[in-house]
Amino acid sequence: MEILRGMFEVGALPVVERTLSFTEARHAALAENVANAETPGYLRRDLPLDAFRARLIEAMERRRPGEPLVPIDIRKLPAPTWGRSPDSGNLRHDGADVSMEAEQAALAENALLHNAMAALARRLYGTIRAAIQGRSEAS
Amino acid sequence: MLASLDISASGLAAQRTRMDVIAQNIANAHTTRDAEGRPFPYRRQEVLFAPSSGSGPGVSVAEIRPDATPPRRVWDPGHPDAIDGYVAYPNVNVIQEMVDMTLASRSYEANVTAIETAKSMYGAALRILG
Amino acid sequence: MVDPAGMGISGVGPVGPSLPAQAGKGARAGEAGGPSFREILLDSIREVNHLQKEADTAIQGLAAGTVDDVAGVFTAVEKAGLAFRTLMEVRNKLVDAYQELMRMRV
């Protein structure tokens, strides 16, 4: 049904959805870093936010009116270049390179973005629901 | 999203095991005889973490192994467990164990924070349903 | 939109700061040659559309990181939401009024 595509593929909704997929995936990577902070030889993993945003902006610019937003393959994002423990290498005898502070900060920042996007998604879907129901507020 | 809860839970379990081992080390810091009552000092135990194998990402305790450092020998001929005048005390440094306990506790809390964050994110997504 | 019973459109009730004034204008539309109620309605729809586009742009900016002002984004979203709700309320009241009119035995 064309009418459905028109509702869900235009505007901010697909952008919000892509961002939510990203923040969920990133949380898993960061949680793994926290769990493995003292595992010998473990190198931290991340899905860098700036790389994702670059892809997002690219996808938005390529989108023509009426066309859907292209999907973003999260697994293809480049490896992180920050967040490593400053004393990894010589000082950490176990070879793990996780900086707990960096991971905590990243977790918090990621959660804030996720929650903001989820709240906005709720609003956007609510408006669609209200319009469908012919009411001023979705029930 | 829910898989990340498993990851953090594995971190909790691993740190918990580590804390148990540290507690055992501290409790036995002056144990100079073994379970059969023979003069043999307690050996410090340490945990070795490894990334989880098999059931998804996370961390697990690969090994709980004895510390190879030799025991402390103290000259005390009157001690019941003295051998040739020396008593062999466990290779446990209580200060080091306390520091380790603090680090383990900090890691434990970090995994708790990760779980709380996941719960908050999941709740926000759930509210999309209105 | 004509006003055959001469009731005046003020039956719609207060739904926003500017609408009663516009409703009053609409009641005189047929007489004075001012903007018709249809035009006022279309204007409101255009305004809602415009605010929703602005909100969409703000949301996309937040996701892309080009917009830093979270409060600004939420304000834009809220404005668009209120404008939409106002429009729906007006539309529903109009439909109700029309249906009531149709039920009248004249």
As a 3-state breakdown, chain B gives helix, strand, coil percent values, each rounded to 5, of 50, 20, 35
Residues of chain A in Cβ contact (below 8 Å) with chain C: 11-12, 15-16, 18-19, 49-50, 53, 56-57, 60, 116-117, 120, 123-124, 127, 130-131, 134-137
Residue A123 included in any domain: yes
When pLDDT is averaged across residues B77-102 and rounded to a whole number, the result is: 94
Residue A91 included in any domain: no
* pLDDT at res. C15: 40
Residue A56 included in any domain: yes
The alpha carbon of residue A12 is apart from the nearest alpha carbon of chain C, in Å, by 5
Give me the residues paired with residue B86 across strands: B75, B83
- Note down the domain range covering C65: 36-104
Q: Do chains B and C touch (3 or more CB pairs under 8 A)?
A: no
For the stretch A40-81, pLDDT in tens is 988 888 998 999 999 999 998 888 877 777 888 877 777 776
Residue C5 included in any domain: no
Q: What confidence tier does C1 reach under pLDDT thresholds 50, 70, 90?
A: very low
Q: What confidence tier does B86 reach under pLDDT thresholds 50, 70, 90?
A: very high
* pLDDT at res. A6: 73
Residue A52 included in any domain: yes
* pLDDT at res. A77: 77
The alpha carbon of residue B101 is apart from the nearest alpha carbon of chain A, in Å, by 13
Name the more confident of A2 and A22: A22
For the stretch B9-18, pLDDT in tens is 999 999 999 9
Question: Which of C57, C58, C60, C55 shows the shortest CA–CA distance to C77?
Answer: C55
> Chains meeting A at 3+ CB pairs closer than 8 A?
B, C
* pLDDT at res. C49: 93
- In B35-126, where do the E strands start and end? 45-51, 59-66, 72-75, 86-89
Q: Could you give the number of structural domains in chain C?
A: 1
pLDDT at residue B26 tops 50? yes
A30 with B128: Cβ contact below 8 A: no
Q: Measured between beta carbons, which residues in chain A are less than 8 angstroms from residue C15?
A: none
Name the more confident of B113 and A72: B113
Helix/strand/coil for B1: coil
pLDDT at residue C5 tops 60? no
pLDDT at residue C14 tops 60? no
When pLDDT is averaged across residues B79-102 and rounded to a whole number, the result is: 94
One-character DSSP codes across A50-117: HHHHHHHHHHHHHPPTTSPPPP--GGGSPPP-S-B-TTTTTT-TT---B-HHHHHHHHHHHHHHHHHH
For the stretch C37-79, pLDDT in tens is 788 888 889 999 999 999 999 999 999 999 989 899 999 999 9
Residue C76 included in any domain: yes
- Note down the domain range covering A127: 2-84+99-133
Answer whether B26's CB lies under 8 Å from B11's CB.
no
Name the more confident of B42 and C29: B42
End-to-end CA, chain C: 19
Q: Which of residues 90-129 of B touch A (CB under 8 A)?
A: 103, 106-107, 110-111, 113-114, 117-118, 120-121, 124-125, 127-128
